[in-house]
Chains A and B, each alone.
Chain A
């Protein structure tokens, strides 16, 4: 009898679980845009696959939403999938998009090289493919276009602005740089851009700590705490992504070093991305500058590049998003193009 009770209770549990899954599948499961009806000039309904490596940060979510909005604006049907950081799964998902006979693919690859087989598969199927925000490595016979932020240049410009602020204080600053996951080409570009700007400016800024974050907030927080303990006089911090700011702020607060611009003990702060946290920090007067990736420009260019490929027009293999540096001086003027500001307003 005990056994039967166990089975019956398990049946209830299993039924509950199945019901929950059915509700999920039926109510929230469908992609909100999967039923969008659209068409090209010839009247054929276009169907574009959008595959992102991850939605881990606000930036990727904003990019994902911007692309979906751009496709919807052009009346194009969307099929979405997310690889959750797994290159092998991403390859499978691109092949699944090919199985679904999409007209084009917009891809955020896991990295520059592991995406090559996916691009080859799309090329072999005759399906145009555009890479969003991360380019592919050059490979013989592999054809794709990429719309990317100029990470190195934009970081250099941001850090140069920060150095100017440091110079105005009239004293030498000790600096910390928080680097991202160096398996990510964007993180490498930002690190290189930081050192490009620092080079030759050693009389103003001396780098005393390089904190590896692997794009992980907890690792960033412990790294910043350790660096501040080893070098309590750090007064210049650049974070390779704005999404690490909560970790930086927590560490600065615990060291009693989180002060507004113009206040004694202010640490010159800079970042990259232009997310909602950075926007709020700019509004509140704690952040000196951040390099903003123009997500809307990148989304628009990605969709346009795809349509141009479908129309057999020539499309450059690399389309650069110049981005812009936003700071207290141009906040009012530039904030409408700052994606984090728009996320924040929502």
Chain B
């Protein structure tokens, strides 16, 4: 946990030492503490849920919560990978195209209709490995482009996104791949299985950030990569593996997306990039690097999913839902900027 809690510890110690703070009203102090707390988004989720549940028919029902969770799990997995990249001050725009390519590669291997291993006992395991390998491979290309070739991450991953999206369309000639084996489909449609997969992946990322040297290195690179290099952090190697990890998480998300929708789809998750980045930012990860938590991303994803679901249940129009979601992401970005300002001001 150590590094993840650092911003709050700093804020609290500064609060105690500031004369202005001691004179401030209690309510303002509590507001400030809540505002700087790492649990802000969790609090927002709980308040939002409690506020909407009495007025939104079906919102708190078990079946609806299952629906929300089923929608959020694949997005959570890809968001966790992106969190790691944002912490080092990078960006990975290729995650959704990795999902698309992994989806069709997996489908092409195991589909009962047209798969290379149709009906073979090893079809599903081979497809799973291949989908993760796609994520690993494209993550490695991104990592090499950013570290060895020193291409800015935005351009490197944007280029990869364009290339991979085109490749996925070309690979399938735009056709969707159906007839996926039931043994694979259950990974996305049995909620407990999908939750276990997403939970384990998220837990590994959480522990890696909070309890390992790798996690400390990520924050160090995000704060100041030059200073980290001088301090002996293997910046290039860590950056490379962070992009690989992001690719792997996208590959894993592809498994959940593809299984949930029973289709290998060259357009899979194409329009999810904004949701993913929005959820990570709402979760408190800074777009400037050096700050972010996996737990925050979990609640960011959950918060956006709850908002989306509740507004649909309330029968609001598409335009309103879009505006409200955009407003929330904007509010999160403003919060991030203000928190940075407050923390830097002391």
- Does A37 reach chain B (CB closer than 8 Å)? no
Complexed CA–CA distance, A183 and B168 (Å): 11
- Does A30 reach chain B (CB closer than 8 Å)? yes
Contacts of B176 in A (CB 8 A): 111-114, 137, 183
Complexed CA–CA distance, A55 and B322 (Å): 12
Complexed CA–CA distance, A55 and B308 (Å): 17
- Does B58 reach chain A (CB closer than 8 Å)? yes
Contacts of A13 in B (CB 8 A): 334
Chain A nearest CB from B44 CB (Å) reads: 12
Give B1-39 as 1s and 0s: 1 = Cβ < 8 Å from A's Cβ atoms.
000000000000000001010001000100110010000
Give B308-346 as 1s and 0s: 1 = Cβ < 8 Å from A's Cβ atoms.
110011111111111110010011001000100110011
Tell whether, in the assembled complex, residue B324 and residue A182 are in contact, meaning their CB atoms are under 8 Å apart: no
Complexed CA–CA distance, A266 and B169 (Å): 35
Q: A21-B324, A182-B173, A183-B176 are in contact. Are A88 and B265 (CB under 8 A)?
A: no
Complexed CA–CA distance, A188 and B266 (Å): 15
- Does A25 reach chain B (CB closer than 8 Å)? yes
Count class of interface residues, chain B: 35 or more
Q: A99-B313, A114-B265, A137-B178 are in contact. Are A7 and B31 (CB under 8 A)?
A: yes
Q: A10-B338, A88-B260 are in contact. Are A25 and B71 (CB under 8 A)?
A: no
In chain B, what residue has the closest Cβ to A7? B32
Tell whether, in the assembled complex, residue B67 and residue A28 are in contact, meaning their CB atoms are under 8 Å apart: no
Tell whether, in the assembled complex, residue B178 and residue A139 are in contact, meaning their CB atoms are under 8 Å apart: yes
Tell whether, in the assembled complex, residue B313 and residue A96 are in contact, meaning their CB atoms are under 8 Å apart: yes
Contacts of B177 in A (CB 8 A): 113
Tell whether, in the assembled complex, residue A24 and residue B318 are in contact, meaning their CB atoms are under 8 Å apart: no
Contacts of A246 in B (CB 8 A): none
Contacts of A85 in B (CB 8 A): 270-271
- Does A92 reach chain B (CB closer than 8 Å)? yes
Contacts of A3 in B (CB 8 A): 18, 20, 32, 342, 345-346
In chain A, what residue has the closest Cβ to B263? A113
Q: A21-B324, A113-B262, A182-B173 are in contact. Are A1 and B20 (CB under 8 A)?
A: yes
Contacts of B331 in A (CB 8 A): 14, 17
Tell whether, in the assembled complex, residue B71 and residue A91 are in contact, meaning their CB atoms are under 8 Å apart: yes
Tell whether, in the assembled complex, residue B265 and residue A29 are in contact, meaning their CB atoms are under 8 Å apart: no
- Does B147 reach chain A (CB closer than 8 Å)? no
Chain A nearest CB from B15 CB (Å) reads: 10
Tell whether, in the assembled complex, residue A29 and residue B316 are in contact, meaning their CB atoms are under 8 Å apart: yes
Tell whether, in the assembled complex, residue B68 and residue A92 are in contact, meaning their CB atoms are under 8 Å apart: yes
Tell whether, in the assembled complex, residue B269 and residue A4 are in contact, meaning their CB atoms are under 8 Å apart: no
Tell whether, in the assembled complex, residue B334 and residue A114 are in contact, meaning their CB atoms are under 8 Å apart: no
Tell whether, in the assembled complex, residue A117 and residue B327 are in contact, meaning their CB atoms are under 8 Å apart: no
- Does A337 reach chain B (CB closer than 8 Å)? no
Contacts of A114 in B (CB 8 A): 176, 261-263, 265
- Tell me the B residues contacting A by CB distance below 8 Å: 18, 20, 24, 28, 31-32, 35, 57-58, 61, 63-64, 67-68, 70-71, 74-75, 169, 173-174, 176-178, 189, 257, 260-263, 265-272, 275, 308-309, 312-324, 327, 330-331, 334, 338, 341-342, 345-346
Question: Nearest 8 A-B pairs (CB), nearest first?
Answer: A182-B174, A82-B318, A92-B71, A113-B176, A95-B67, A113-B263, A34-B315, A114-B261
19 new A-B contacts, CB < 8 A, other than A30-B315, A188-B174, are A1-B20, A6-B341, A17-B331, A20-B327, A21-B327, A25-B316, A52-B318, A79-B315, A81-B318, A86-B269, A86-B272, A87-B267, A92-B68, A96-B58, A101-B58, A113-B265, A114-B265, A183-B169, A183-B266
